[in-house]
Each structure stands twice: as structure tokens, then as C-alpha cells.
């Protein structure tokens, strides 16, 4: 299987590579349009800030390339957020694959939640084959200050400050707000499902 990890200025690429190796898969890391377009599976990771990432992608027309892909695509963390319509982070127009808006967490006074959310939290209301053999309320690892609202594309929910989309799905596009590559056995199962069942 030809797996590509998209290389850009906000990718958490090494940890994703290592996670794939742990489940017996290997991936090419590239920003080459032909290599991305011809892959069997595409992973679009991300850590960082939305507007500079989108500027980088637009300058290389990678935003158009990603939006037009026909094979299964998995966006991770910022990668998923960039696949949404809009992010409040520096007023950023994103790719619009998912209709959801990405908003800044606004903790209530005295609520105890810190922004960004860093650490383990549960995922529930799980839908699609991405979560085969993953039990409700499994723990995954999160690092983010912005979240995608709940909507028609939500396939997993997490509660932090409020319920939000911890995973999205539309057609051949999937996204997780959590980091499957840092989520131990649960994350490995999700990556296996993406490679083997999607």
C-alpha cells in the first residue's frame, strides 16, 4: 500500500511515521503533488497555527490538491481544523471540506479548564469504520486550544468546556482532533482501521 504523509510547515510528521511503523506500515513524506495524488492513503497531520499553515498550503496550491483528492484522507489535529470551513485563529479561511467552524475554547469562570487542552480525554458517540474495535469513552491524547463545532459530519464527540467534534467524516475525508499517533493502543487501532477498513 502506498501511504503518503503530506509534508508542510506544520506537520508533526516523525511521530506519525513512528506510529505507522509500530503497526507495520511505512509511509512516504512528501509535498510532491504527483506523489500525493497517486497515493492509496493520505495522512495530513498538523501542529501549529492556522493562518500561516494555510498561507503555506495556498502558496503551493496544496489546499486545492488536498480538497480534490479522491482516495481516503486523514487529517490530524490542525490538519483536521484546516479541512474545516473557517477558523477563529487569526480569522482564517480554510479548505471548506467540512462545513464546521473552528472556535477558540472559552472556559467559564471557575470552571477549572485550561486552554489549550493538553492531555487525555474520552471520545464517545463513535461512528464509521474508523472506530471499529474502539470502545465508547476510550481515552485519546489532545493538544489544542481551538475546536470544531458539532455538526452533520461529527463522528466522535469529546467534552471539554463544551461538547465538540473530536472526529469528522465526509465522503473520503476523515479528521481527528486528537493525536492517534500519541494515543497508545486506541490510536494504533484507529490508524489500522484507516489503513485497512476505509
Decide if 179 is catalytic: yes
* Main-chain phi, psi angles of 49, to 5 degrees: -115, 140
User: Angle formed by the axes of helices 13-22 and 184-197, to 10°?
Assistant: 80
Catalytic residue among 84, 179, 188, 196: 179
Catalytic residue among 21, 94, 181, 196: 181
CA distance 101 to 158: 16
Name the grid cell of 113.
479548564
Decide if 181 is catalytic: yes
Which of helix, strand or coil describes residue 179?
coil
Beta bridge partners of 124: 157
Pairing of strands 117-123, 138-144: antiparallel
CA distance 1 to 52: 32
Catalytic residue among 34, 55, 77, 188: 77
Contact 149, 177 (CB under 8 A): no
Which of helix, strand or coil describes residue 162?
strand
Hey, which residues are catalytic here?
A: 77, 179, 181
Amino acid at each position: 500500500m502506498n501511504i503518503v504523509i503530506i509534508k508542510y510547515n506544520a506537520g508533526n510528521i516523525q511521530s506519525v511515521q513512528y506510529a505507522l511503523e509500530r503497526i507495520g506500515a511505512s509511509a512516504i513524506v512528501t509535498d510532491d503533488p504527483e506523489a500525493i495524488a497517486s497515493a492509496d492513503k493520505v495522512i495530513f497531520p498538523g501542529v501549529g497555527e492556522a493562518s500561516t499553515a494555510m498561507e503555506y498550503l495556498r502558496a503551493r496550491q496544496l489546499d486545492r490538491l488536498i480538497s480534490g483528492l479522491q482516495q481516503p484522507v486523514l487529517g490530524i489535529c490542525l490538519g483536521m481544523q484546516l479541512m474545516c470551513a473557517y477558523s477563529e485563529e487569526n480569522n482564517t479561511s480554510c479548505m471548506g471540506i467540512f462545513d464546521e467552524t473552528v472556535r477558540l475554547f472559552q472556559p467559564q469562570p471557575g470552571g477549572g479548564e485550561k486552554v489549550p487542552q493538553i492531555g487525555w480525554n474520552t471520545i464517545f458517540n463513535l461512528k464509521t469504520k474508523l472506530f471499529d474495535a474502539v470502545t465508547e469513552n476510550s481515552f485519546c491524547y489532545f493538544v489544542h486550544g481551538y475546536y470544531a463545532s458539532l455538526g452533520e459530519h461529527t463522528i466522535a464527540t469529546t467534552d471539554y468546556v463544551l461538547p465538540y467534534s473530536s472526529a469528522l467524516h465526509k465522503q473520503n475525508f476523515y479528521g481527528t482532533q486528537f493525536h492517534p499517533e500519541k494515543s497508545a493502543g486506541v490510536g494504533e487501532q484507529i490508524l489500522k482501521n484507516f489503513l485497512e477498513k476505509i
